[in-house]
Structure 1
Amino acid sequence: MKKNLVIVFIITCFLAFKPNEKQKHILIIGDSISIGYTPFVAKYLADKATVVHNKGNAQHTGTGLEKVEEWLGTQKWDIIQFNWGLWDLCYRHPDSKVQGKRDKINGDITYDVDQYAANLDSLVTIIKRKSKAKLIFVTTSFVPEAEQGRFTEDAIKYNDAAKVVMKKHGVIVNDIYESSIAIHKDYGTALDNVHYEKDGYVQLGELVAKFLEKEMED
């Protein structure tokens, strides 16, 4: 009798255990801001999705064009979220002593807004050719006035240009720019830095995760 009860218990447990067939696979491609918030996105969506970031920093659109196919790999992605911008609009000079050789006075811009848009257009074309995933573009986050290699207004210009490209390709846009201003005010690492303290990344991660959660359901 006891043996039979054990067998019944094992069978019941086996039948009760079902793999999560609805678990989604999400790839996030992006710069250091996305690297900062991705762990919190993954935690927020842990019951619904496997969230991974591309290996390393996606930097600017030129790096993206070189490596995006490698990042896509052979995984069947349900959603691919991507962003470029902060590196593209950055001015750098080889003699600058600032981290990253940033210098918006004497330096050269990485990609002007037209080159940025053209590169994004090519990147979306490549991604759509390689994957059937739902695509989401996340806008560039806030650039403080004192940032030594970037102009605040350029973030807006580059975001506007990106939105035109995304509309052309039918790509969903998650515009986090306005929200990132307030988050940076409270949790930016410094007045001359585009990065965030942990609590800032938590808030950005929640913004991104809730948007992804909605798109997973649609």
Structure 2
Amino acid sequence: MATITNQFSCATLAPGLTAGDCNYMAAIGMLAQGANLMSENITADNTNADIWIGLDGPNTFTFVNGATVPIILIIWYRALGDDQASFMNARPPRISYSLPTRGSAVEISLANDVPGAWSALYDHTTPLTTYGQIDNTIGEFSTGEFATVDVSRLVNMSGNPMTVRVSSGCVADMDRCVYACDTGTTSCGGPGTYNLLGCGGKNAVQSVDKDGNPSGGCQGWSNGGHVDVIMT
């Protein structure tokens, strides 16, 4: 992989991020470190923090490294209408956290009415795509009244596995409540190129959006709940 000139400095590290991981993020062309806020407070741009480290929020996630290699957890916010939210060369993540060994974990809080997603960089080998997305499996969430979480394989159908278990009992993984490209494609995202698979049973919903694309995921945690994520 060709080396890309660092776009940001790692002289000062966000809490929970190692220097080596920060330097790797810069080398692959990410825009910035995560804010890695430690509490729900006012951010530099005068907006309320919506994603932070800790268990004091109404919605909580536990992210666990279940792999045999170090990983870097990346979480981003998806503002309404922001088509570039997942492009890490154009948007800073909310969280970039080092999980250096198998069993390493971090607790993350989210306010209500927060849409976003996460992915992971594995063993300093996961690149960004040509467009700037993390070239791996993605987990997506929205909190609040219609809180939903799912797994998406659309960026890379051969990405690293993850298992997402909601406190309601619903599970999303590489086969359940997962967005997958139609047969024969390794990456997709346009209308009519993908489906939502295996999303049935208690607290799982599946429908179509206003544009006729599949929509849904694991629910049962409206306005507060816990989600466990194991990345392998």
Q: Would you say same fold, with TM above 0.5?
A: no
Relative to its length, the structure with more helix (as a share) is 1
Scaled by the length of structure 2, the TM-score of the pair is 0.28
Relative to its length, the structure with more strand (as a share) is 2
Larger radius of gyration, structure 1 or 2? 1
Scaled by the length of structure 1, the TM-score of the pair is 0.30
Larger relative contact order (Cα-Cα within 8 Å, sequence gap ≥ 6): 1
